[in-house]
């Protein structure tokens, strides 16, 4: 109920505010006139401005009440003066509200206490001032909306949104005054205003074209910023509202195009047979546009109260999705894509040429349309892969060592029976199933979205005999499991890592981890982002002692000192410092807390090229400043290794010199 | 009054309001910013201070009278890090083991602090 009232208030406020902008704009477009009908219209518009100015203030107060109820979380707070004061004094919404209503209040005062208009200067001064006040008052709303929260381009987003509002007002708001003017002018008694009305509507037509382009361009930009992709557009409430809004805008644009092409040229025609009927018709069509426009504003009010799709988890409505990556490797795929794409492109071209040429339009359109459909029909089906409602769901649990470790324990308890201890689908429980359990280490695992895995784990795969786990595992547990599966598949690829950095080719995301040394506060790998290269050393005593000895003595030497060294005992002994002893002194961090999670996650990345057995007792990783594992050294591997500290120093310097080539990895599985 | 004069007056009033707003809030704000910048410049006054922190012993150098600790944040002095501190007298670190968690007291005129007390914390 409160939501509905809040929505109504926002809608009314938006409609009245944009109406003010449009009505004053229409008066300015039409210009002063001494004709009796035009004068009557002008004074009608002036009183409309007074009413709208009153209504915009009242509805503005109602939006404040609505916001108070939303902020306080209870309907009763809508009329609580204490909440109002807090809201106005201490929130961005309040500041923007005060500024906007100050401006709108001035506008109302100017409209209500209007002095005589003695000259054209007076005429123009009042209207231009009113238009500027209404424009500033409405445009400022952008600073209290979703646009102001955009990072890092908040100012640009707000300016774009402000332009969107002003352009929409100039266009939609002018529809009502012009419909009224045309209605007056189309009657017998209003004939004196016909040239005036025709001139006004022509000016409006030119201005509206620019305004529509601005509305569409800024709207598309807003969509990109607030939605970000197809799944969010079709899978979230924000996306649905936006789609409905776009559909309505398309209808209005179609109507406007019809008016411009068909009715506008007919207006100056013979009064009785062509001009006046066209005028009356245009008046009705403008009315229809206005009705749709009010619908668009209702959807806009809804959008302003809905979380932007970018911050929402999309719920995919189709049973398939199109993905080149997931379909890659299907024989003949590229040939079909190329052929179909070309055909669709030619079809589109033919349709456009036919439309523009005007001759044999139907033939061109039909042929182009057929080619387009056949082309798409050829190209798209091979790209379709199965999808589920949760396919584009984002994991709420970050890809980090602690989650992977939890997932590993859950895997051993719930999944290993069928999928096998190492994830190869060779568990004893999988023998009698209708389909053999999936090999979770195979490269294709990475081609399914995290959301796909979430669906399979939650609901099972009935045809394959996989049971659902929604009852047995909490949602967070399932995401931990998915983080583990990602690390498992990535670990399989990690066999390709060598001690030498591949220049500018980061591909293996390092799971974040945190550790602490004694009572010092915990530190995370993330903290090194953009700062320094990390050398992660997993060691076991006593085998690793000579190596640690070497690292400790060289710590601070050129090369090694440019990286942050983190040593983690594989046995996760909290007394590891005592065991390492005093000689040589070790000054780099040695994890006394958090080691267990790091070891279980990074062991997955520690398998040597041939072996499947347990992870080695000592392994070192180089992690670049963006958070990617770039090189790995297993003692005893053939070839150049880090037992030569010169080689290690060279790799660190190479990473130090490298400019970031890809963005830092997302913290969540995709 | 002529309408255009009303409009002009109103705009002047708006501009004047903005100017007053700048005088009332903008200028003091800029002044405060400047003062804050200045107050950050000079070194802290040279008076003796005392700090207490917890850390784990990483190394002891009796020949230089220095103990290296990985310590917690020392509010008002330095963030958590691994660092060596001079010790007032050798008996304070006698019998101290590597990896032991200790609570230390630092005294002196920053940045010249010495450890004046070391207490075993018991916990690892």
ipTM of the complex: 0.71
Q: Mention every residue, 6+ apart, whose C-beta is less than 8 A from residue A307.
A: A238
* Cβ–Cβ gap A115/B58 under 8 Å: no
* Cβ–Cβ gap B82/A589 under 8 Å: yes
Burial class (CB in 10 A: 0-12, 13-18, 19+), B39: exposed
B93 plus B65 within the same structural domain: yes
Nearest to A586 among B58, B81, B97 (CB): B58
A620 phi, psi to nearest 5 deg = -130, 140
pLDDT at A668 over 70: no
Average per-residue pLDDT for chain A: 87
In a domain? residue A665 = no
* Cβ–Cβ gap B101/A518 under 8 Å: yes
Least confident of A478-482, A588-592, B89-93: B89-93
A151 near B CB under 8 A? no
* Cβ–Cβ gap B4/A125 under 8 Å: yes
C-alpha closest to that of A535 among A517, A553, A510: A510
Structural contact between residues A293 and A167, judged by C-beta atoms closer than 8 angstroms:
no
CA distance A561 to chain B (A): 14
User: Which range, A155-169, A371-385, A486-500, is most confident?
Assistant: A155-169
A150 plus A264 within the same structural domain: yes
* Cβ–Cβ gap B98/A578 under 8 Å: yes
Distance, CA of A71 to CA of A217 (rounded, Å):
33
Q: Mention every residue, 6+ apart, whose C-beta is less than 8 A from residue A360.
A: A354
In a domain? residue A391 = no
Q: How many CB atoms lie within 10 A of CB A517?
A: 26
Model confidence at B114, in pLDDT bands (50, 70, 90)? very high
The single residue listed with the structure tokens 């004047």 is B16
A592 near B CB under 8 A? yes
Rg (CA), chain B: 28
The pLDDT value recorded for residue A11 is 95
A502 plus A473 within the same structural domain: no
Contacts of A116 in chain B (CB under 8 A): 3
Distance, CA of A640 to CA of A87 (rounded, Å):
65
A438 plus A301 within the same structural domain: no
Nearest to A518 among B55, B81, B97 (CB): B55
Distance, CA of A77 to CA of A74 (rounded, Å):
6
Q: Mention every residue, 6+ apart, whose C-beta is less than 8 A from residue A646.
A: A559
Among candidate residues A465, A494, A523, the one where a domain is terminated: A494
Among candidate residues A352, A386, A420, the one where a domain is terminated: A386
Structural contact between residues A510 and A621, judged by C-beta atoms closer than 8 angstroms:
yes
CA–CA distances in Å: residue A533 to residues A399, A504, A580, B20:
19, 14, 25, 52
Name the closest residue on chain A to residue B55, using Cα atoms. Answer: A519
B10 plus B55 within the same structural domain: no
Q: What is the pTM of this model?
A: 0.74
The pLDDT value recorded for residue A669 is 54
Q: For A56-76, write each residue's pLDDT tens digit.
A: 999 999 999 988 888 888 888
Model confidence at A609, in pLDDT bands (50, 70, 90)? low
* Cβ–Cβ gap B97/A106 under 8 Å: no
B29 plus B54 within the same structural domain: no
B55 plus B108 within the same structural domain: yes
Q: For A372-383, write each residue's pLDDT tens digit.
A: 999 888 888 878
Least confident of A70-74, A577-581, A650-654: A70-74
Contacts of A552 in chain B (CB under 8 A): none
Residue A625 lies in domain? 497-657
Largest distance between two CA atoms of chain A: 108
B54 plus B110 within the same structural domain: yes
A138 plus A171 within the same structural domain: yes
pLDDT at A86 over 80: yes
Percentage of chain A exceeding pLDDT 70: 96
Distance, CA of B4 to CA of A180 (rounded, Å):
28
pLDDT at A32 over 70: yes
Distance, CA of A511 to CA of A509 (rounded, Å):
6
The single residue listed with the structure tokens 């040394």 is A517
Contacts of B72 in chain A (CB under 8 A): 519-521
Domain count, chain A: 4
DSSP conformational letter for A190: T
A476 plus A523 within the same structural domain: no
A284 plus A372 within the same structural domain: no
Name the closest residue on chain B to residue A106, using Cα atoms. Answer: B10
The pLDDT value recorded for residue B124 is 44
B72 plus B104 within the same structural domain: yes
Name the closest residue on chain A to residue B18, using Cα atoms. Answer: A99
Buried b (16+ CB within 10 A) or exposed e, A64-93: bbbbbbbebeebebbebeebbeebbeeeeb
Q: What DSSP line would sit under chain B, residue for residue?
A: --HHHHHHHHHHHHHHHHHHHIIIIIHHHHHHHHHHHHHHSSPPP---EEEEEEEEEEEEETTTTEEEEEE--BTTTB-SEEEEEEBS-GGGGTTPPTT-EEEEEEEEETTEEEEEEEEE----
Contacts of A123 in chain B (CB under 8 A): 3
Residue B37 lies in domain? 1-42
A105 plus A164 within the same structural domain: yes
Contacts with B, A 570-589, CB within 8 Å: 574-582, 585-589
Q: Which of A115, A122, A519, A584 to mutate to test the interface with B (most CBs of B within 10 A)?
A: A519
* Cβ–Cβ gap B2/A518 under 8 Å: no
* Cβ–Cβ gap A518/B73 under 8 Å: no
Contacts of A579 in chain B (CB under 8 A): 99
A298 plus A337 within the same structural domain: no
Interface of B with A (CB under 8 A): 1-4, 6-8, 10-11, 14, 54-61, 68, 70-73, 80-82, 97-101, 121, 123-124
CATH number for the domain spanning B101: value is 2.40.50.320
B2 plus B62 within the same structural domain: no
In a domain? residue A392 = no
Domain count, chain B: 2
Q: Which residue has the higher pLDDT, A648 or A584?
A: A648
Return the structure tokens found at A504: 């500018």
A462 plus A534 within the same structural domain: no
Contacts of B123 in chain A (CB under 8 A): 519
Contacts of B118 in chain A (CB under 8 A): none
B59 plus B35 within the same structural domain: no
Q: Which of B5, B7, B18 to mutate to test the interface with A (most CBs of A within 10 A)?
A: B7
Least confident of A293-297, A623-627, B8-12: B8-12
pLDDT mean over A291-297: 95
* Cβ–Cβ gap B54/A581 under 8 Å: no
A71 plus A121 within the same structural domain: yes
* Cβ–Cβ gap B124/A574 under 8 Å: yes
In a domain? residue A454 = yes
Least confident of A393-397, A444-448, A462-466, A567-571: A444-448
B32 plus B83 within the same structural domain: no
CA distance A111 to chain B (A): 11
B37 plus B59 within the same structural domain: no
pLDDT at B77 over 50: yes
Among candidate residues A386, A415, A436, the one where a domain is terminated: A386
Structural contact between residues A591 and A575, judged by C-beta atoms closer than 8 angstroms:
no
Buried b (16+ CB within 10 A) or exposed e, B56-70: bbbbbeeeebbbbbb
Name the closest residue on chain B to residue A520, using Cα atoms. Answer: B72
CA distance B47 to chain A (A): 27
Return the structure tokens found at B98: 């590597």
A-B contacts at Cβ under 8 angstroms: 99
pLDDT at A558 over 80: no
B75 plus B55 within the same structural domain: yes
B122 phi, psi to nearest 5 deg = 90, -50
B38 plus B59 within the same structural domain: no
Structural contact between residues A589 and A517, judged by C-beta atoms closer than 8 angstroms:
yes
| A334, HSE (Cβ side, Cα atoms, 13 Å) | 3
Contacts of B59 in chain A (CB under 8 A): 582, 585-587
The pLDDT value recorded for residue B123 is 52
In a domain? residue A395 = no
Residues forming a β-bridge with A567: A537, A590
In a domain? residue A451 = yes
A181 plus A92 within the same structural domain: yes
A596 plus A451 within the same structural domain: no
* Cβ–Cβ gap B59/A125 under 8 Å: no
* Cβ–Cβ gap A106/B10 under 8 Å: yes
């Amino acid at each position: 109920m409160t939501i509905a009232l809040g929505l109504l208030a926002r809608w009314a406020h938006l409609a009245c505010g944009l109406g003010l902008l449009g009505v004053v704009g229409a008066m300015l477009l039409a210009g002063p006139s001494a004709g009796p009908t035009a004068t009557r219209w002008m004074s009608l518009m002036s009183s409309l401005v007074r009413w709208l100015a009153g209504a915009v203030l009242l509805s503005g107060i109602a939006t404040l009440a609505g916001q108070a109820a939303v902020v306080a979380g209870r309907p009763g707070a809508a009329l609580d003066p204490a909440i109002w004061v807090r809201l106005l004094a201490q929130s961005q919404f309040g500041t923007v509200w005060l500024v906007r209503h100050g401006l709108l209040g001035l506008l109302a005062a100017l409209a209500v206490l209007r002095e005589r208009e003695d000259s054209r200067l007076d005429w123009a001064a009042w209207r231009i001032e009113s238009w500027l006040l209404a424009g500033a008052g409405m445009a400022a709303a952008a600073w209290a909306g979703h646009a102001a929260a955009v990072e890092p381009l908040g100012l640009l987003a707000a300016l774009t949104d402000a332009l969107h509002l002003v352009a929409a007002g100039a266009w939609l708001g002018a529809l009502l005054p012009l419909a009224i003017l045309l209605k007056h002018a189309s009657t017998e008694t209003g004939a004196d205003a016909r040239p005036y009305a025709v001139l006004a509507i022509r000016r409006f037509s030119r201005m509206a074209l620019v305004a529509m382009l601005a509305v569409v361009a800024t709207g598309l930009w807003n969509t990109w910023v607030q939605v970000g992709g197809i799944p969010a557009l079709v899978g979230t409430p924000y996306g649905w509202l936006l789609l409905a809004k776009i559909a309505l805008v398309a209808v209005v644009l179609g109507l406007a195009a019809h008016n411009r092409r068909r009715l506008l040229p007919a207006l100056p025609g013979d009064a009785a047979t062509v001009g006046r009927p066209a005028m009356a018709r245009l008046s009705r069509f403008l009315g229809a546009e206005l009705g749709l426009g009010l619908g668009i504003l209702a959807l806009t009010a809804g959008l302003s109260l809905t979380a932007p799709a970018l911050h929402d988890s999309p719920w995919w409505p189709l049973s398939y999705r199109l993905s080149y990556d997931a379909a890659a490797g299907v024989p003949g795929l590229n040939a079909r894509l190329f052929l179909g794409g070309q055909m669709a492109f030619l079809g589109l071209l033919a349709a456009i040429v036919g439309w523009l040429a005007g001759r044999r339009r139907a033939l061109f359109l039909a042929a182009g349309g057929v080619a387009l459909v056949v082309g798409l029909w050829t190209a798209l089906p091979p790209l379709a892969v199965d999808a589920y409602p949760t396919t584009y769901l984002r994991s709420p649990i970050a890809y980090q060592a602690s989650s992977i470790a939890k997932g590993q324990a859950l895997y051993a308890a719930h999944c290993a029976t069928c999928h096998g201890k190492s994830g190869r689908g060779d568990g004893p429980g999988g023998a009698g199933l209708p389909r053999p359990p999936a090999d979770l280490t195979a490269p294709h695992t990475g081609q399914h979205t995290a959301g796909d895995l979430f669906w399979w784990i939650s609901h099972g795969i009935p045809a394959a005999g996989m049971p659902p786990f929604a009852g047995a595992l909490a949602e967070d547990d399932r995401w931990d499991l998915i983080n583990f599966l990602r690390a498992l598949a990535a670990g399989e690829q990690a066999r390709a890592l060598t001690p030498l950095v591949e220049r500018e080719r980061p591909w293996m995301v390092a799971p974040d981890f945190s550790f602490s040394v004694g009572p010092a506060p915990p530190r995370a790998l993330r903290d090194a982002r953009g700062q320094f290269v990390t050398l992660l050393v997993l060691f076991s005593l006593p085998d690793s002692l000579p190596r640690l000895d070497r690292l400790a003595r060289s710590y601070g030497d050129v090369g090694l000192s440019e990286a942050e060294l983190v040593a983690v005992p594989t046995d996760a002994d909290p007394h590891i410092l005592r065991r390492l002893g005093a000689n040589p002194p070790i000054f780099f961090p040695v994890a006394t807390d958090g080691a267990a999670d790091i070891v279980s996650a990074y062991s997955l990345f520690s398998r040597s090229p041939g072996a499947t057995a347990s992870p080695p007792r000592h392994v070192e990783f180089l992690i670049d400043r963006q958070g990617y594992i770039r090189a790995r050294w297993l003692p005893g591997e053939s070839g150049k290794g880090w037992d030569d500290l010169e080689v290690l120093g060279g790799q660190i310097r190479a990473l130090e010199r490298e400019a970031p080539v890809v963005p830092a990895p997302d913290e969540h599985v995709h | 009054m002529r309408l255009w004069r009303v409009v002009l007056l109103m705009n002047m009033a708006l501009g004047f309001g903005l100017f007053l707003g700048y005088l009332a809030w903008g200028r003091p704000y800029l002044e405060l910013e400047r003062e804050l910048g200045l107050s950050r410049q000079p070194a802290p006054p040279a008076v003796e201070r005392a700090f207490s922190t917890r850390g784990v012993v990483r190394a002891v150098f009796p020949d230089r009278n220095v103990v290296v600790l990985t310590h917690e944040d020392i509010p008002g002095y330095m963030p958590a890090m691994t660092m060596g501190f001079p010790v007032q007298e050798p008996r304070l670190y006698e019998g101290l083991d590597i990896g032991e968690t200790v609570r230390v007291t630092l005294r002196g005129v920053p940045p010249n602090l010495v450890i004046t007390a070391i207490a075993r914390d018991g916990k690892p």
